Amino acid sequence: MSSNPSKSGGRERLIDIITERSFQRGGEMKLASGRSSTFYFNMKPTMMHPEGAALIARLFLDAVANDKADLIGGLEMGAVPLAASLCAVSEMEGRPLQAFFVRKQVKEHGTQALIEGLAAGESFAGKRVVVLEDVTTTGGSALKAVRMIEEAGGDVVRVITVVDRQEGAAKTFADAGVTFSALLNTDDFKD
pLDDT tens digits for range 121-172: 899 999 999 999 999 999 998 999 999 999 999 999 999 999 999 999 999 9
Taking only the tens place, the pLDDT of each residue in 50-90 is: 999 999 999 999 999 999 999 999 998 889 999 999 999 99
Report how far residue 113's alpha carbon sits from residue 111's, in angstroms, rounded to the nearest whole number: 5
* Spatial separation of the C-alpha atoms in residues 72 and 84, rounded to whole Å: 9
CB 14 within 8 A of CB 183: yes
Pairing of strands 128-136, 115-116: unpaired
State the chain's mean pLDDT as an integer.
88
Burial of 170 from C-beta contacts in 10 A (0-12 / 13-18 / 19+): middle
pLDDT bracket for residue 190 (50, 70, 90) = confident
- Rounded to an integer, what distance in angstroms lies between the CA atom of residue 108 and that of residue 106? 6
pLDDT at position 166: 93
Percentage of the residues of the chain whose pLDDT score is greater than 70: 88
Delineate the domains of the chain, giving CATH numbers in brackets.
Answer: 5-189 (3.40.50.2020)
Question: Average of pLDDT values for 10-30?
Answer: 89
